[in-house]
Amino acid sequence: MAISLTVNGNAVTLDADPETPLLWALRDELRLTGTKFGCGIAQCGACTVLLDGMTGRSCVTPIGTLEGADVRTIEALEGAEAEAVQAAWVGINVPQCGYCQSGQVVAATALLQEVPKPTDEDIDNAMAGNICRCATYARIRQAIRQASDSLEG
Amino acid sequence: MHPSIKKLTAPRPTRRGFLAGSAGLVLGLYLAPKARASATGEGYAPNAFVRIAPDDSVTVLVKHIEIGQGANTGLPILVAEEMDADWSQMRAEQAPVDPSRYVNTAFGVQGTGGSTGLSNSYMTMRQAGAAARAMLVAAAADEWGVPAGEITVTKGVVAHEGSGKSSGFGALAEAAAGMPVPENPALKDPAEFTLIGGEGVTRLDAEAKTNGSAQFSIDVYREGMQVVAMVHPPKFGAVVVSFDDSAAMEISGVNAVRQVPSGIAVYAGNTFAAFKGRDAVTVEWDESGAETRSSDEIARVFAEAARAPGKVAEAAGDVDTALENAAEVIEADYLFPYLAHAALEPLDGVIELREDGAEVWAGEQIPTISRQAMGGVLGMEPGKIEMHTMFAGGSFGRRATPDSHFAAELANVAKAAGPGAYKLVYTRENDMQAGYYRPLTAHHLKAGLDADGNITAWLNTVANQSIIADTPFAMMMKDGLDPTSYEGSNDLAYDLPNTRLSWAQMDAGVPTLWWRSVGHTHTAYAVETFLDRVLEAGGNDPVEGRLALMREDRPRDAAVLSRVAEMAGWSGPGMGDKRMGVAVVRSFGSYVAQIAEVEDRDGSPHVTRVWCAVDCGLAVTPDVVRAQMEGGIGFGLGSMLHDEITLDEGGRVRQSNYDGYPMLRIGEMPQIEVSIIQSEENPTGVGEPGTPPIAPAVANAWRALTGKMPYRLPFARGAA
């Protein structure tokens, strides 16, 4: 069964088992490897992508549900919020092993698109689904605040 | 991993000066000082660690795997400092697997672990940078016809003031390649350092790890590659009797199912099919040789052993008499669970097998041993296996297995299917249930106090499995003692009369492994929480009492403790809803003291703030040191609060994913302040030492708050 959707602005047709999680379609078929596999059960957030503008866990999203959907991955995050988040991530040296950070950056970008001035509680809530085994959380909080500040004015 | 492993298989540095297989000629400066460098197709490589390109970029070949600890930043800083390069022109690249050039001098093999990365590279990388600088200067002097002594190098610009000439590195690279390699290049006086110890350094891997482009081994795709998923034994030590692959073979995309020594391998055209196939295979297992005890039963046996006399590891005075004569005796039994490393990238790797050799992409911490293991499986010289070290999505010790079980499995998967490309990917369930856990450990402690509250006796018995017995690392054992089992219980910073430390080596069928900070993961907790209680019984403040006990020859322990007390404004554990607890631990040559501020949130400790003082010698990259302290604290805190691997009745591992083995999440992360002691001592490690003090600091605060001490971890279990 062929499924047509948009990935990073490009029309894509996936001819695969509709049960295939979006994660593996992105990685194995489209070679968009920035989106990572961590758990397979929506517990870790490493596979976070934007689905029609909202964060989604690609490891539990069958491609069969995505006909006509708009998918955006770390490789093609766009907009002022994404730029601010990525600049703050690098400036503050957030990543350690880096494996979770695609998901963290996508989640942080989505947060700032929704809530431009998040409180610490907003940050903790929005990022609660993203595990960082290196525990870079303190810097993630700091980077989101810095990105938010840099978007002001 | 542990730093004191010496000369394991000890490939001695060779006199061979040239790296075969790289673009052109690359000189091994460190190993063959008299050889000459040469220009290459892609630039100039004055030695095996440094490559200069025509665009002025300087690439440092990093011999340690980057697992998050900052090797790809710390080693290039050493080179850049001595080269007087500008940080923006520096790049990092993982060195090839070639122990003759890239040996870890602390181990005798190419490997990363024991928080040794910077300490064993400190001089080597500085020399590499200084030699490269000297050769660039010599080339400029030659070209400009001026004395080398009048030439300056500043932020990547080579200049001669008198003639007004200047150049970047790239334009001089080819000529520099023809210059003799200085045998003992002059190194900077540390007072002249501009990059080392400086702030504002961006990690060289930060950008790639922020935009999704960083390449881990799971990201490697080869032409015609199959993805392989494993069915592993349900119990440790079980073996395959027979298997039925008929349902798996019906799944679209599944190509083959093969038996390999570690289980059943499912080969497919994509990961989803491989994982589905894995779940569809049915296997009959022979469990006659399996570990079938529950972890509760194992714990009961270990705890009993800790209460019996063990093998004496360290003793002073007469502890038995001192205990008999004590005015008060305090004792405690501690229990620590098996712990999984649970790195976010599950174990994975890619192999491309040819008739005459193989190429491997992996994130192995000890590639020398991994390659030997693969060579053994494939019946080929290890040198025929070209190995690429990729970024690893965390490790915490998991990718440093003495038996190289994963590398061997990867080779077996290829061997069973024949020439071709294969990516072996563990599911999270494979990864969490494969064993190689932090050893389940029991401590029994006893202290005697005199009528004035002074400590007169200190006894500690540790019971656990040895990580290194029956492995190539067994040579670290002395007199039948495995120091990784009890390190941190011995050579205490405190001046205690009448002490005895014993160890009981236990047997269980559960594979164990070093887990970030190894023995200190449990010894720091047992020692530092028990001491807190004993100090209180003697009427002593936790900080003042520790300082009063500190040995005169341990000033660095005292200094970090004093510093952290200052930072936190310590005046005792405090009153009210928030209390403070303290712990100080030396591990891997570094000294770390932490104070945790804790409140009671629904019956569990919630850590609001942590102050951390660290002495790691010269802090080459202070921001990386801070990051490692922050991460080490989060790592220790998460496991203390939540984690244990348990075996059910019959021996099956109960936890399989992050739902049953929860990770610390952002809302649980305390605010952390780190202070680095200024030091001119040689740098020591920071990857592991941040972890040990946090759990005892939190537990001590919790006891101050509630009067209760969790003697069994994780906290949820201990409180129950």
B66 band by pLDDT with thresholds 50, 70 and 90: confident
- Cβ-count burial A37-63 (b if 16+ within 10 Å, e if not): bbbbebbbbbbbbbbeeebbbbbebeb
- CA-to-CA separations, A135 to A112, A138, B124, B206, B450, in angstroms, rounded: 21, 8, 31, 16, 44
- Is the CB of residue B261 less than 8 Å from the CB of residue B243? no
Q: Nearest CA to CA, how far is B56 from chain A (Å)?
A: 23
Q: Nearest CA to CA, how far is A143 from chain B (Å)?
A: 12
Portion 45-84 of B in contact with A at CB < 8 A: 66-70
What pLDDT, on the 0 to 100 scale, is given for residue B98? 80
Q: Nearest CA to CA, how far is A36 from chain B (Å)?
A: 8
What pLDDT, on the 0 to 100 scale, is given for residue B456? 98
Encoded amino acid at B81, one letter: E
Question: Are the beta carbons of B658 and A75 separated by less than 8 Å?
Answer: no
**Backbone phi, psi, residue B430, to 5°:** -55, -50
Pairing outcome for strands B385-389 and B357-362: parallel
What pLDDT, on the 0 to 100 scale, is given for residue B107? 66
Residue A68: CA count within 13 A, CB half-sphere: 0
Distance in angstroms (rounded) separating the CA atoms of residues B553 and B572: 26
A20, A95, A128 member nearest B210 (Cβ):
A95
Interface mutation vs chain B, best among A8, A57, A60, A96, most B CBs within 10 Å = A96
- Cβ-count burial B127-143 (b if 16+ within 10 Å, e if not): bbbbbbbbbbbbbbbee
**B209 to chain A: which residues are within 8 Å by CB?**
95, 98, 101
pLDDT at residue B4 tops 50: no
Distance in angstroms (rounded) separating the CA atoms of residues B469 and B512: 11
Which DSSP symbol is given to B563? Answer: H
B718 band by pLDDT with thresholds 50, 70 and 90: low
How many CB pairs (< 8 A) connect A and B? 185
B28 band by pLDDT with thresholds 50, 70 and 90: very low
**Hey, how many other C-beta atoms are within 10 angstroms of the C-beta on B294?**
17
Summary mean pLDDT of chain B: 91
- Is the CB of residue B687 less than 8 Å from the CB of residue B117? yes
Summary mean pLDDT of chain A: 97
What pLDDT, on the 0 to 100 scale, is given for residue A91? 97
**A131 to chain B: which residues are within 8 Å by CB?**
344, 658, 663, 665
What pLDDT, on the 0 to 100 scale, is given for residue B46? 63
DSSP secondary structure of B611-632: EEEEE-SS-SSHHHHHHHHHHH
Name, of A88-97, B34-43, B708-717, the range with top average pLDDT: A88-97
B106 band by pLDDT with thresholds 50, 70 and 90: low
Q: What is the mean pLDDT of residues B533-560?
A: 98
- Interchain CB contact of B425 with A (< 8 Å): yes
State whether residue B190 is helix, strand or coil: helix
- Cβ-count burial B161-187 (b if 16+ within 10 Å, e if not): eeeeebbbbbbbbbbbbebebbeebee
B95 band by pLDDT with thresholds 50, 70 and 90: confident
Q: State both tokens at B395.
A: 């490790």
**B214 to chain A: which residues are within 8 Å by CB?**
98
What pLDDT, on the 0 to 100 scale, is given for residue B83? 96
Question: Are the beta carbons of A124 and B666 separated by less than 8 Å?
Answer: yes
Cα–Cα–Cα angle for B258, B262, B265, nearest 5°?
30
Q: What is the mean pLDDT of residues B11-29?
A: 28
State whether residue A143 is helix, strand or coil: helix
User: For the purposes of burial, counting CB atoms within 10 Å of the CB of A70, is it exposed (0-12), middle (13-18) or buried (19 or more)?
Assistant: middle
Pairing outcome for strands B385-389 and B328-336: unpaired
What pLDDT, on the 0 to 100 scale, is given for residue B347? 98
Question: Are the beta carbons of B212 and A35 separated by less than 8 Å?
Answer: yes
Portion 391-420 of B in contact with A at CB < 8 A: 391-396
What pLDDT, on the 0 to 100 scale, is given for residue B715? 92
Q: State both tokens at B503.
A: 């160890």
pLDDT at residue B702 tops 70: yes
B513, B289, B499: which is closest to B399 by C-alpha? B513
Among chain A residues, the shortest Cα distance to B425 is held by: A37
pLDDT at residue A116 tops 60: yes
Sheet containing strand B604-615, edge to edge, reads B578-587, B590-601, B604-615, B671-676
- Is the CB of residue B388 less than 8 Å from the CB of residue B359? yes
Which DSSP symbol is given to B683? Answer: P
- Is the CB of residue B532 less than 8 Å from the CB of residue B703? yes
What pLDDT, on the 0 to 100 scale, is given for residue A12? 97
**A17 to chain B: which residues are within 8 Å by CB?**
252-253, 272-273
Q: Nearest CA to CA, how far is A3 from chain B (Å)?
A: 17
pLDDT at residue A123 tops 50: yes
B66, B427, B623 member nearest A40 (Cβ):
B427
**B623 to chain A: which residues are within 8 Å by CB?**
93
* Tens digit of each residue's pLDDT (9 = 90 or more) over B622-642: 999 999 999 999 999 999 999
Distance in angstroms (rounded) separating the CA atoms of residues B153 and B160: 9
What pLDDT, on the 0 to 100 scale, is given for residue B717? 76
Name, of B118-132, B363-377, B472-486, B536-550, the range with top average pLDDT: B536-550
Q: What is the mean pLDDT of residues B569-594?
A: 97
What pLDDT, on the 0 to 100 scale, is given for residue B364? 87
B365 band by pLDDT with thresholds 50, 70 and 90: confident
**A37 to chain B: which residues are within 8 Å by CB?**
218, 271, 346, 425
Question: Are the beta carbons of A95 and B638 separated by less than 8 Å?
Answer: no
Q: Nearest CA to CA, how far is B309 from chain A (Å)?
A: 38
Q: What is the mean pLDDT of residues B352-361?
A: 97
**Global confidence as pTM:** 0.94
A93, A96, A128 member nearest B666 (Cβ):
A128
Which DSSP symbol is given to B510? Answer: S
Q: What is the mean pLDDT of residues B90-115?
A: 78
Q: Nearest CA to CA, how far is B666 from chain A (Å)?
A: 5
* Tens digit of each residue's pLDDT (9 = 90 or more) over B647-699: 999 999 999 999 999 999 999 999 999 999 999 898 999 999 999 999 999 99
**B658 to chain A: which residues are within 8 Å by CB?**
38-39, 41, 43-44, 131
What pLDDT, on the 0 to 100 scale, is given for residue B45? 64
What pLDDT, on the 0 to 100 scale, is given for residue B178? 86
- CA-to-CA separations, B208 to A89, B72, B589, in angstroms, rounded: 11, 12, 32
Sheet containing strand B50-52, edge to edge, reads B38-40, B43-47, B50-52, B58-62, B90-94
pLDDT at residue B22 tops 70: no
Q: What is the mean pLDDT of residues A49-69?
A: 98
pLDDT at residue B8 tops 70: no
Q: Nearest CA to CA, how far is A68 from chain B (Å)?
A: 22
B430 band by pLDDT with thresholds 50, 70 and 90: very high
The residue whose two tokens read 């698109």 is A113
> Which carries the bigger pLDDT value, residue B580 or residue B685?
B580
* Tens digit of each residue's pLDDT (9 = 90 or more) over A2-20: 999 999 999 999 999 999 9
ipTM tops 0.90: yes
What pLDDT, on the 0 to 100 scale, is given for residue B120? 77
B1 band by pLDDT with thresholds 50, 70 and 90: very low
B29, B124, B114: which is closest to B76 by C-alpha? B124
Question: Are the beta carbons of A133 and B394 separated by less than 8 Å?
Answer: yes
B335 band by pLDDT with thresholds 50, 70 and 90: very high
Q: Nearest CA to CA, how far is A153 from chain B (Å)?
A: 25
A40, A10, A9, A6: which is closest to A24 by C-alpha? A40
User: For the purposes of burial, counting CB atoms within 10 Å of the CB of B41, is it exposed (0-12), middle (13-18) or buried (19 or more)?
Assistant: exposed
The lowest-confidence range among B26-35, B198-207, B367-376, B453-462 is: B26-35
> Which carries the bigger pLDDT value, residue B31 or residue A88?
A88
Interface mutation vs chain B, best among A50, A104, A122, A134, most B CBs within 10 Å = A134
**B346 to chain A: which residues are within 8 Å by CB?**
37-38
B538 band by pLDDT with thresholds 50, 70 and 90: very high
Helices (H), B418-550: 428-433, 483-486, 520-537, 542-549
Q: What is the mean pLDDT of residues B183-194?
A: 92
- Interchain CB contact of B627 with A (< 8 Å): yes
What pLDDT, on the 0 to 100 scale, is given for residue B9? 31
Question: Are the beta carbons of A134 and B631 separated by less than 8 Å?
Answer: yes
B614 band by pLDDT with thresholds 50, 70 and 90: very high
Q: Which helix (H) or strand (E) holds B265?
A: strand B263-268
- Interchain CB contact of B343 with A (< 8 Å): yes
Among chain B residues, the shortest Cα distance to A104 is held by: B210
Question: Are the beta carbons of B344 and A132 separated by less than 8 Å?
Answer: yes
Question: Are the beta carbons of A37 and B342 separated by less than 8 Å?
Answer: no
Question: Are the beta carbons of B393 and A91 separated by less than 8 Å?
Answer: no
pLDDT at residue B32 tops 60: no
